[in-house]
Structure 1
Amino acid sequence: MTTPIPSIEGKTTVNVARERAFELFTGHFGAWWPRQYHIGSVEVADVILEPHEGGRWFERGVDGSECDWGRVLTWEAPERIVFTWQIGGDWQFDPDPAHASEIEVRFHADGPEQTTIEVEQRHFERLVGGEGVHGAIEHGGGGWVALLAAYSGLVAGEAGPA
Protein backbone atom coordinates (compact mmCIF):
# COMPACT_ATOMS: atom_id res chain seq x y z
CA MET A 1 0.00 0.00 0.00
CA THR A 2 1.25 3.47 -0.88
CA THR A 3 1.53 6.14 1.78
CA PRO A 4 -0.83 9.04 1.02
CA ILE A 5 0.78 12.38 0.18
CA PRO A 6 -1.16 15.44 1.42
CA SER A 7 -3.32 17.40 -0.99
CA ILE A 8 -2.42 20.91 -2.12
CA GLU A 9 -5.25 23.41 -1.94
CA GLY A 10 -5.97 26.95 -2.97
CA LYS A 11 -8.90 29.33 -2.76
CA THR A 12 -9.78 32.72 -4.20
CA THR A 13 -12.83 34.93 -4.63
CA VAL A 14 -13.48 36.93 -7.79
CA ASN A 15 -16.05 39.60 -8.62
CA VAL A 16 -17.81 37.93 -11.54
CA ALA A 17 -20.78 35.58 -11.79
CA ARG A 18 -20.08 31.87 -11.37
CA GLU A 19 -20.69 31.12 -15.05
CA ARG A 20 -18.12 33.72 -16.11
CA ALA A 21 -15.62 32.59 -13.46
CA PHE A 22 -15.90 29.02 -14.77
CA GLU A 23 -15.54 30.14 -18.39
CA LEU A 24 -12.47 32.27 -17.66
CA PHE A 25 -10.82 29.47 -15.68
CA THR A 26 -11.45 26.70 -18.20
CA GLY A 27 -11.63 28.54 -21.52
CA HIS A 28 -8.71 30.90 -20.98
CA PHE A 29 -6.23 28.66 -19.16
CA GLY A 30 -3.35 29.95 -21.26
CA ALA A 31 -4.13 33.56 -20.37
CA TRP A 32 -3.44 33.05 -16.66
CA TRP A 33 -1.18 29.98 -16.44
CA PRO A 34 2.44 31.13 -15.84
CA ARG A 35 4.51 30.54 -18.98
CA GLN A 36 7.48 29.15 -17.03
CA TYR A 37 5.43 26.10 -15.94
CA HIS A 38 5.61 23.77 -18.91
CA ILE A 39 7.20 20.48 -19.92
CA GLY A 40 7.66 20.98 -23.67
CA SER A 41 11.00 21.66 -25.28
CA VAL A 42 9.91 25.05 -26.65
CA GLU A 43 8.27 28.15 -25.20
CA VAL A 44 4.54 27.86 -24.48
CA ALA A 45 2.07 29.55 -26.81
CA ASP A 46 -1.07 28.34 -25.02
CA VAL A 47 -2.45 25.97 -22.38
CA ILE A 48 -5.70 24.27 -23.31
CA LEU A 49 -8.31 22.40 -21.28
CA GLU A 50 -10.78 20.81 -23.67
CA PRO A 51 -14.36 21.49 -22.48
CA HIS A 52 -15.74 17.96 -22.07
CA GLU A 53 -15.23 14.74 -20.16
CA GLY A 54 -12.37 12.86 -21.78
CA GLY A 55 -10.90 16.12 -23.11
CA ARG A 56 -7.20 16.79 -23.07
CA TRP A 57 -5.30 19.22 -20.83
CA PHE A 58 -2.18 20.16 -22.75
CA GLU A 59 0.29 22.82 -23.75
CA ARG A 60 0.89 24.03 -27.29
CA GLY A 61 4.37 25.31 -28.05
CA VAL A 62 5.23 28.33 -30.17
CA ASP A 63 6.25 25.89 -32.91
CA GLY A 64 2.85 24.14 -32.83
CA SER A 65 4.08 21.10 -30.91
CA GLU A 66 1.82 19.73 -28.18
CA CYS A 67 2.53 18.10 -24.79
CA ASP A 68 -0.25 16.42 -22.86
CA TRP A 69 -0.57 17.13 -19.13
CA GLY A 70 -3.75 15.19 -18.31
CA ARG A 71 -7.39 14.46 -19.08
CA VAL A 72 -10.75 15.90 -18.05
CA LEU A 73 -12.58 13.44 -15.79
CA THR A 74 -15.64 15.52 -14.82
CA TRP A 75 -17.16 18.55 -16.55
CA GLU A 76 -20.11 20.01 -14.62
CA ALA A 77 -20.26 23.60 -15.82
CA PRO A 78 -20.42 26.01 -14.05
CA GLU A 79 -20.06 24.17 -10.74
CA ARG A 80 -17.13 21.79 -10.92
CA ILE A 81 -14.39 20.23 -13.01
CA VAL A 82 -11.98 17.42 -12.24
CA PHE A 83 -8.93 16.76 -14.39
CA THR A 84 -5.78 14.71 -14.07
CA TRP A 85 -2.16 15.73 -13.67
CA GLN A 86 -0.17 13.00 -15.41
CA ILE A 87 3.27 14.56 -15.10
CA GLY A 88 5.64 12.45 -13.04
CA GLY A 89 8.80 13.27 -11.16
CA ASP A 90 10.78 13.23 -14.42
CA TRP A 91 8.55 16.16 -15.57
CA GLN A 92 7.25 14.18 -18.53
CA PHE A 93 3.70 13.09 -19.37
CA ASP A 94 2.85 9.59 -18.15
CA PRO A 95 0.12 8.09 -20.38
CA ASP A 96 -0.89 5.56 -17.70
CA PRO A 97 -4.04 6.94 -15.99
CA ALA A 98 -3.15 4.90 -12.89
CA HIS A 99 -0.23 7.33 -12.48
CA ALA A 100 -2.35 10.47 -12.22
CA SER A 101 -3.07 12.92 -9.48
CA GLU A 102 -6.42 14.74 -9.67
CA ILE A 103 -7.26 18.41 -9.61
CA GLU A 104 -10.79 19.30 -8.51
CA VAL A 105 -12.02 22.85 -8.98
CA ARG A 106 -15.30 24.00 -7.43
CA PHE A 107 -17.08 27.28 -8.22
CA HIS A 108 -19.38 28.62 -5.48
CA ALA A 109 -21.69 31.55 -6.22
CA ASP A 110 -21.46 34.02 -3.32
CA GLY A 111 -23.91 36.38 -4.96
CA PRO A 112 -24.89 37.44 -8.48
CA GLU A 113 -21.44 38.91 -9.20
CA GLN A 114 -19.07 37.10 -6.83
CA THR A 115 -17.65 33.57 -6.96
CA THR A 116 -15.33 31.61 -4.71
CA ILE A 117 -13.08 29.09 -6.45
CA GLU A 118 -11.62 26.20 -4.44
CA VAL A 119 -8.93 23.93 -5.85
CA GLU A 120 -7.68 20.66 -4.43
CA GLN A 121 -4.91 18.65 -6.06
CA ARG A 122 -4.81 15.17 -4.55
CA HIS A 123 -3.46 11.62 -4.98
CA PHE A 124 0.18 12.60 -5.51
CA GLU A 125 1.09 9.08 -4.33
CA ARG A 126 -0.20 7.75 -7.66
CA LEU A 127 2.47 9.66 -9.57
CA VAL A 128 5.87 8.15 -10.28
CA GLY A 129 8.05 10.46 -8.17
CA GLY A 130 4.96 11.98 -6.55
CA GLU A 131 6.73 13.31 -3.44
CA GLY A 132 9.07 15.36 -5.62
CA VAL A 133 6.19 16.68 -7.71
CA HIS A 134 4.27 17.60 -4.55
CA GLY A 135 7.28 19.45 -3.13
CA ALA A 136 7.95 21.31 -6.37
CA ILE A 137 4.33 22.46 -6.67
CA GLU A 138 3.86 23.37 -3.03
CA HIS A 139 7.20 25.05 -2.40
CA GLY A 140 8.70 25.81 -5.81
CA GLY A 141 6.15 28.21 -7.18
CA GLY A 142 3.61 28.82 -4.44
CA GLY A 143 1.25 26.03 -5.52
CA TRP A 144 -2.38 26.67 -6.26
CA VAL A 145 -2.38 29.81 -4.11
CA ALA A 146 0.01 31.45 -6.60
CA LEU A 147 -1.79 29.99 -9.62
CA LEU A 148 -5.14 31.30 -8.37
CA ALA A 149 -3.58 34.72 -7.80
CA ALA A 150 -2.66 34.77 -11.50
CA TYR A 151 -6.18 33.67 -12.40
CA SER A 152 -7.68 36.38 -10.14
CA GLY A 153 -5.52 38.95 -11.92
CA LEU A 154 -6.97 37.90 -15.26
CA VAL A 155 -10.52 38.11 -13.89
CA ALA A 156 -9.91 41.52 -12.31
CA GLY A 157 -8.56 42.88 -15.59
CA GLU A 158 -11.45 41.39 -17.53
CA ALA A 159 -14.05 42.69 -15.07
CA GLY A 160 -12.55 46.18 -14.97
CA PRO A 161 -12.35 48.49 -11.98
CA ALA A 162 -14.71 47.78 -9.11
Structure 2
Amino acid sequence: MTQTEAATSVRRSVTVSATPERAFEVFTAGIDRWWPRDHHIGDAPLRESVLEPGEGGRWYEKGEDGSECDWGRVLVWEPPHRLVLAWQISADWAYDPELVTEVRVTFTPQDGDRTRVELEHAHLDRFGARAAQMAAVFGSANGWPGMLDAYAATV
Protein backbone atom coordinates (compact mmCIF):
# COMPACT_ATOMS: atom_id res chain seq x y z
CA MET A 1 0.00 0.00 0.00
CA THR A 2 1.40 3.38 -0.92
CA GLN A 3 1.48 6.40 1.37
CA THR A 4 -1.34 8.01 -0.67
CA GLU A 5 -3.53 4.90 -0.45
CA ALA A 6 -2.90 4.67 3.29
CA ALA A 7 -4.08 8.26 3.74
CA THR A 8 -7.13 7.75 1.50
CA SER A 9 -8.73 4.62 2.95
CA VAL A 10 -8.59 2.11 5.80
CA ARG A 11 -9.98 -1.37 5.18
CA ARG A 12 -10.70 -4.13 7.67
CA SER A 13 -12.86 -7.24 7.63
CA VAL A 14 -14.17 -9.92 9.94
CA THR A 15 -16.16 -13.10 9.42
CA VAL A 16 -18.99 -13.68 11.87
CA SER A 17 -21.13 -16.71 12.65
CA ALA A 18 -24.42 -15.19 11.57
CA THR A 19 -26.55 -14.73 8.49
CA PRO A 20 -26.17 -11.43 6.61
CA GLU A 21 -29.55 -10.38 8.02
CA ARG A 22 -28.39 -10.90 11.60
CA ALA A 23 -24.95 -9.39 10.94
CA PHE A 24 -26.55 -6.26 9.45
CA GLU A 25 -29.03 -5.99 12.32
CA VAL A 26 -26.33 -6.19 15.00
CA PHE A 27 -24.14 -3.68 13.16
CA THR A 28 -26.98 -1.17 12.83
CA ALA A 29 -29.81 -1.59 15.36
CA GLY A 30 -27.39 -3.20 17.82
CA ILE A 31 -24.59 -0.63 17.49
CA ASP A 32 -24.98 0.42 21.12
CA ARG A 33 -24.16 -3.12 22.23
CA TRP A 34 -20.70 -3.14 20.63
CA TRP A 35 -19.59 0.50 20.22
CA PRO A 36 -16.86 1.26 22.81
CA ARG A 37 -18.06 3.52 25.62
CA ASP A 38 -14.88 5.58 25.48
CA HIS A 39 -15.43 6.42 21.79
CA HIS A 40 -17.52 9.59 22.05
CA ILE A 41 -17.06 13.27 21.26
CA GLY A 42 -19.50 14.84 23.72
CA ASP A 43 -18.45 16.26 27.06
CA ALA A 44 -20.63 13.81 28.99
CA PRO A 45 -19.90 10.08 29.22
CA LEU A 46 -21.57 8.02 26.48
CA ARG A 47 -24.98 6.64 27.42
CA GLU A 48 -26.03 5.37 23.98
CA SER A 49 -24.79 5.09 20.38
CA VAL A 50 -27.64 5.51 17.89
CA LEU A 51 -27.88 4.69 14.19
CA GLU A 52 -31.28 5.55 12.76
CA PRO A 53 -32.42 3.17 9.99
CA GLY A 54 -32.85 4.30 6.40
CA GLU A 55 -31.12 6.76 4.11
CA GLY A 56 -30.87 10.14 5.79
CA GLY A 57 -31.01 8.62 9.27
CA ARG A 58 -28.90 10.24 11.97
CA TRP A 59 -25.79 8.63 13.45
CA TYR A 60 -25.15 10.15 16.86
CA GLU A 61 -24.45 9.72 20.54
CA LYS A 62 -26.51 10.42 23.61
CA GLY A 63 -24.64 11.54 26.69
CA GLU A 64 -25.44 10.57 30.25
CA ASP A 65 -26.53 14.19 30.81
CA GLY A 66 -29.13 13.95 28.00
CA SER A 67 -27.01 15.81 25.45
CA GLU A 68 -26.71 14.62 21.85
CA CYS A 69 -23.73 14.88 19.48
CA ASP A 70 -24.01 14.07 15.79
CA TRP A 71 -21.40 11.79 14.22
CA GLY A 72 -22.86 11.69 10.70
CA ARG A 73 -25.76 10.24 8.77
CA VAL A 74 -26.83 7.23 6.75
CA LEU A 75 -26.00 7.65 3.06
CA VAL A 76 -26.92 4.16 1.80
CA TRP A 77 -29.22 1.64 3.54
CA GLU A 78 -29.51 -1.68 1.67
CA PRO A 79 -30.22 -4.42 4.24
CA PRO A 80 -28.80 -6.96 4.55
CA HIS A 81 -26.01 -6.32 2.05
CA ARG A 82 -24.66 -2.78 2.25
CA LEU A 83 -24.47 0.26 4.49
CA VAL A 84 -22.68 3.57 3.89
CA LEU A 85 -22.35 6.11 6.68
CA ALA A 86 -21.12 9.69 6.51
CA TRP A 87 -18.42 10.18 9.16
CA GLN A 88 -18.50 13.87 9.99
CA ILE A 89 -16.08 13.98 12.89
CA SER A 90 -12.99 16.11 12.41
CA ALA A 91 -9.39 15.27 13.27
CA ASP A 92 -10.00 17.32 16.44
CA TRP A 93 -12.82 14.91 17.39
CA ALA A 94 -15.68 17.37 16.93
CA TYR A 95 -18.72 17.19 14.66
CA ASP A 96 -18.08 19.03 11.39
CA PRO A 97 -21.08 19.23 9.03
CA GLU A 98 -18.74 20.29 6.19
CA LEU A 99 -16.53 17.19 6.46
CA VAL A 100 -17.80 13.96 4.93
CA THR A 101 -15.71 10.81 4.90
CA GLU A 102 -17.48 7.48 4.30
CA VAL A 103 -17.71 4.29 6.32
CA ARG A 104 -18.71 1.64 3.78
CA VAL A 105 -19.79 -1.74 5.10
CA THR A 106 -20.73 -4.83 3.10
CA PHE A 107 -22.20 -8.10 4.38
CA THR A 108 -21.40 -11.10 2.16
CA PRO A 109 -22.76 -14.60 2.87
CA GLN A 110 -20.16 -17.35 3.34
CA ASP A 111 -20.52 -21.11 3.71
CA GLY A 112 -23.17 -22.03 6.26
CA ASP A 113 -24.59 -19.24 8.39
CA ARG A 114 -21.45 -17.11 8.22
CA THR A 115 -21.02 -13.59 6.88
CA ARG A 116 -17.94 -11.69 5.83
CA VAL A 117 -18.23 -8.10 7.00
CA GLU A 118 -15.94 -5.74 5.15
CA LEU A 119 -15.49 -2.16 6.32
CA GLU A 120 -13.76 0.61 4.41
CA HIS A 121 -13.35 4.08 5.85
CA ALA A 122 -12.87 6.07 2.63
CA HIS A 123 -12.01 9.62 1.58
CA LEU A 124 -9.56 10.11 4.44
CA ASP A 125 -7.73 12.56 2.17
CA ARG A 126 -10.50 15.00 3.13
CA PHE A 127 -8.73 15.40 6.49
CA GLY A 128 -6.12 17.36 4.53
CA ALA A 129 -2.71 17.61 6.17
CA ARG A 130 -3.88 15.26 8.94
CA ALA A 131 -5.02 12.45 6.61
CA ALA A 132 -2.11 10.11 7.37
CA GLN A 133 -2.54 10.70 11.10
CA MET A 134 -6.25 9.85 10.92
CA ALA A 135 -5.59 6.76 8.76
CA ALA A 136 -3.17 5.57 11.46
CA VAL A 137 -5.78 6.18 14.18
CA PHE A 138 -8.57 4.40 12.27
CA GLY A 139 -6.26 1.48 11.44
CA SER A 140 -4.96 1.06 15.00
CA ALA A 141 -6.13 -1.51 17.54
CA ASN A 142 -8.25 1.21 19.16
CA GLY A 143 -9.79 2.08 15.77
CA TRP A 144 -11.77 -0.04 13.34
CA PRO A 145 -9.91 -3.33 14.03
CA GLY A 146 -10.80 -3.20 17.72
CA MET A 147 -14.34 -2.08 17.04
CA LEU A 148 -14.88 -4.88 14.51
CA ASP A 149 -13.57 -7.36 17.09
CA ALA A 150 -16.11 -6.02 19.61
CA TYR A 151 -18.83 -6.22 16.96
CA ALA A 152 -17.88 -9.84 16.08
CA ALA A 153 -17.99 -10.82 19.76
CA THR A 154 -21.50 -9.35 19.99
CA VAL A 155 -22.89 -11.10 16.92
| TM-score, normalised by the number of residues in structure 2 | 0.90
CA distance, structure 2, for counterparts of residue 111 and residue 26 of structure 1: 23
**Corresponding position: 1:87 with 2:93:** no
Q: Deviations over 1:81-140 (max 9, x none)?
A: 0011111111100011xx211010000011441111000001012136434322322236
Structure 1 regions of 5+ residues with no counterpart?
Answer: 156-162
Name the residue aligned to 2:78: 76
CA RMSD of aligned residues (A): 1.6
**Corresponding position: 1:33 with 2:35:** yes
Q: Which runs of 4+ in 1 moved over 6 A?
A: none
Does the 8 A contact of 1:100 with 1:124 survive in 2?
no
CA distance, structure 1, for counterparts of residue 127 and residue 58 of structure 2: 18
CA distance, structure 2, for counterparts of residue 92 and residue 18 of structure 1: 32
- Which stretch shifts more, 5-14 or 51-60? 5-14
Structure 2 regions of 5+ residues with no counterpart?
Answer: none
CA distance, structure 1, for counterparts of residue 127 and residue 55 of structure 2: 21
Name the residue aligned to 1:7: 9
Does the 8 A contact of 1:89 with 1:127 survive in 2?
yes
Name the residue aligned to 1:106: 106
CA distance, structure 2, for counterparts of residue 64 and residue 102 of structure 1: 27
Identity %: 43
Does the 8 A contact of 1:87 with 1:93 survive in 2?
yes
**Corresponding position: 1:51 with 2:53:** yes
Does the 8 A contact of 1:26 with 1:51 survive in 2?
yes
Q: Deviations over 1:35-85 (max 9, x none)?
A: 111100011011111111011111111111110011110000000000111
Name the residue aligned to 2:133: 132
Amino acid at match of 2:117: I
Secondary structure of the 2:55 match is coil
CA distance, structure 1, for counterparts of residue 56 and residue 127 of structure 2: 19
Name the residue aligned to 2:115: 115
| TM-score, normalised by the number of residues in structure 1 | 0.86
CA distance, structure 2, for counterparts of residue 111 and residue 75 of structure 1: 24
